[in-house]
Structure 1
């Protein structure tokens, strides 16, 4: 995830655009949720570690983009707080016999972050949230996982945000 100075994602004063900072926050949130899931690290430890050491830093040759730290924290804390509501929604949208606990940990983190946003960030259109998280899935997977993310999130969005999908 390198970020060069000639990148079109930067504005004239070389500060990343707010949308790019939010995208970087989503990616970092997925990574943090994965770490919490796999490493069984606490919410507080994970937030501190990511906000202090990863965001906007270069680590082992990888440059981590500057991220909207408050948005990162909102997503990670939100998933942690609402996971008992989020996971059953994901389960209901996955193929029978593939509960959220059985799918790949990275895929699980992507779906949890996106589902939280679909439920709690009504100021962001569902299609934007879905596109952002499908893009994150493409960064991690080359097979069918991005299609799974798209299908599951589309299903959840149609259930939770019907008003955005009905023609006027």
Structure 2
């Protein structure tokens, strides 16, 4: 399901939000107005997880709507004033897809859709266009030409809708990017989850797409960075002597803090894994020079901790 990399991204984003809110405070205004209530870090983090679930449920919902549009198309065409023979004989095999109906009967998915209400989005025209694009393909024509049903072809058709008609469609991707700011962060992982779900409908708990272990890791990583900020900064500051603090990207500072916290308090994570993870995140989310910068700082801190025999990690659960 959600990887530790995605967990780190969501913790990073939460810390960035907190930092931005803190920097947004105006001392002049603060003297005249009551101080704003500090944001709850764990609630911000939970909201990121909810956005991931909403993205997942929306993609699956969209697959079902494109497939079920076969019945809508049949009804609309047969109700024309002067329907043609073709209008009166629209093939609706897709709407009865056996894998589709297993998905529609999934109690966990139903609960997620009831909560997220994807049907309220303005997506009807896009669903229609994707369906019409689908029926023009050789793959669809081959699918409806076979009268019987088998699990392999039923699954393959839904996978084709998702990967070749939805994800390969620029308009659809733009639609998703408009609705979900987390698409760039979660898109690849969520797409894999969708394909896994199509292979085995009912296999996901949409209310718990983050395992208890990973949710605890996220919660503790976030809280430990907040609680141990000064301890961590005492290790980082000496290495910033040749750098103008104001020119250090906020994300770089956050990533370094997270990395040092993992060095000190997360005993099951090897330091090399920590360093590599935060180098990658710095390269992807911060400036072109950030990967090298974060690598240098974290590597130096790690070497010093080893040299001074201070790499005795304390389990964060006991911290």
TM-score, structure 2 length as denominator?
A: 0.41
Alpha-carbon deviations, 1:33-67, whole Å to 9, x = none? 1111111284x61211221x212233833344665
Q: Is the 8 A contact 2:14 2:44 kept in 1?
A: no
RMSD over equivalenced CA pairs, Å: 2.4
Query: In the alignment, is residue 47 of structure 1 matched against residue 47 of structure 2?
Result: no
Query: In the alignment, is residue 160 of structure 1 matched against residue 160 of structure 2?
Result: no
Query: In the alignment, is residue 116 of structure 1 matched against residue 98 of structure 2?
Result: no
In the TM superposition, 1:4-43 aligns within 5 A as 16=1, 21-40=3-22, 42=38
* Equivalent-residue separation in structure 2 for 1:155 and 1:84 (angstroms): 18
* Equivalent-residue separation in structure 2 for 1:102 and 1:140 (angstroms): 16
Alpha-carbon deviations, 1:109-155, whole Å to 9, x = none? 11111111111123211110000111111111351111000000001
Structure 2's unaligned 5+ residue stretches are: 23-36, 56-176, 190-208, 310-319
Match of 2:216 in 1: 70
* Equivalent-residue separation in structure 2 for 1:97 and 1:142 (angstroms): 15
* Equivalent-residue separation in structure 2 for 1:47 and 1:147 (angstroms): 30
Q: Which secondary structure does the structure 1 equivalent of 2:268 belong to?
A: coil
User: Which structure has the bigger radius of gyration?
Assistant: 2
Query: In the alignment, is residue 96 of structure 1 matched against residue 239 of structure 2?
Result: no
**More helix by proportion, 1 or 2?**
2
Q: Is the 8 A contact 1:30 1:110 kept in 2?
A: yes
Of 206, 209, 226 in structure 2, the residue corresponding to residue 80 of structure 1 is: 226
Q: Which secondary structure does the structure 2 equivalent of 1:122 belong to?
A: coil
Deviation at 1:23, TM superposition (A): 1.4
Q: Which secondary structure does the structure 1 equivalent of 2:267 belong to?
A: coil
Deviation at 1:76, TM superposition (A): 0.9
* Equivalent-residue separation in structure 1 for 2:302 and 2:284 (angstroms): 22
The alignment of Structure 1 onto Structure 2 pairs a total of residues equal to: 143
Match of 1:12 in 2: none
TM-score, structure 1 length as denominator?
A: 0.74
* Equivalent-residue separation in structure 1 for 2:306 and 2:9 (angstroms): 23
Q: Is the 8 A contact 1:137 1:149 kept in 2?
A: yes
Distance 1:142 1:38, change over 3 A: closer
* Equivalent-residue separation in structure 2 for 1:102 and 1:118 (angstroms): 25
Alpha-carbon deviations, 1:80-134, whole Å to 9, x = none? 11111111211112242434x6521111111111111111123211110000111
Q: Which secondary structure does the structure 2 equivalent of 1:161 belong to?
A: helix
